[in-house]
Structure 1
């Protein structure tokens, strides 16, 4: 008997009003506009992260968090991948959202959810503009196609092939 396919969520978090902080929602839009995914995959524009993500995590086995990161030591626009427990040094995944992804996963574990968590981030140039500005800075914008490819590659590791929309 074949094991059921894992339920996979791509949680794209961020605030589109704060320049590069809108990276996650931008990736969600690119993915949902260009591809169709099997029923066991959810692409979620989850807004700003918090414990409200627990309702999404409840139904998932594997999660890829996509977000803006800072303090990676890399040039703006550089994509970084890491595990949730490696988040501590980065302003990402909690600076603009007040809750770290690792904390959300720990809360999920306390509720009995078993989730395999992964993170994809982009080193930002600016996610703290003096006023609300929609759009990504140029180096982060340039990284969008590669980030989409990284998400698709992550899904392929689980045997999932996204279908381009006609």
Structure 2
């Protein structure tokens, strides 16, 4: 099984660097099963698209996500959300910016590029601050261990062959 854990986000926009930081931590985790690639894509959406075209069966995107207002958690900064993305949730007409990262656009364009959307999850964290600057805010930094655990849990739900 080919599994890709993709950290996405801009580390120069404070909490938008959440995905790359989780990827950095997971890249050194020796307990991950064989067949799991962990990559910090940053804002390289086209690179992610090409890697997905090479054949990925399970994709775990790790990214900052908007708050989910109206829910019991109300999207406080540092809140984690785990989402399952289905092919029908995506817009095939989304515009893919070769110099940016919009994971929904990348996934939406896969079919038109000749690929297929893999089983896809998002492990997301609600940011507190996405203004220019380097370093995560305290609530988002505190969410890192939980995000790593969420990714590991998702991976444990899939069968791996070596």
Classify 1:49/1:87 alpha carbon distance in 2 versus 1 (closer, same or farther; 3 Å).
farther
Distance in 1 between the 2:152 and 2:29 partners?
A: 12
SS at match of 1:103: helix
Give the structure 1 partner of residue 145 of structure 2: 145
SS at match of 1:83: strand
Give the structure 1 partner of residue 60 of structure 2: 64
Contact kept in structure 2, 1:84 and 1:101, CA below 8 Å: no
Give the structure 1 partner of residue 116 of structure 2: 113
Larger deviation, residues 12-21 vs 142-151: 12-21
Q: TM-score, normalised by structure 1?
A: 0.77
Deviation at 1:99, TM superposition (A): 4.9
Contact kept in structure 2, 1:84 and 1:102, CA below 8 Å: no
Deviation at 1:39, TM superposition (A): 3.4
Contact kept in structure 1, 2:81 and 2:125, CA below 8 Å: yes
Deviation at 1:63, TM superposition (A): 0.4
Alignment pair present for 1:136 and 2:136? yes
SS at match of 1:10: strand
Deviation at 1:105, TM superposition (A): 1.5
**Which aligned pairs between 1:151-166 and structure 2 lie closer than 5 A?**
151-159=151-159
Contact kept in structure 2, 1:15 and 1:21, CA below 8 Å: yes
The counterpart of 1:29, out of the listed 24, 30, 37, is 24
Classify 1:146/1:42 alpha carbon distance in 2 versus 1 (closer, same or farther; 3 Å).
same
Q: Unaligned 5+ residue runs, structure 2?
A: 70-74
SS at match of 2:111: helix
Distance in 1 between the 2:144 and 2:16 partners?
A: 13
Classify 1:100/1:84 alpha carbon distance in 2 versus 1 (closer, same or farther; 3 Å).
farther
Q: TM-score, normalised by structure 2?
A: 0.78
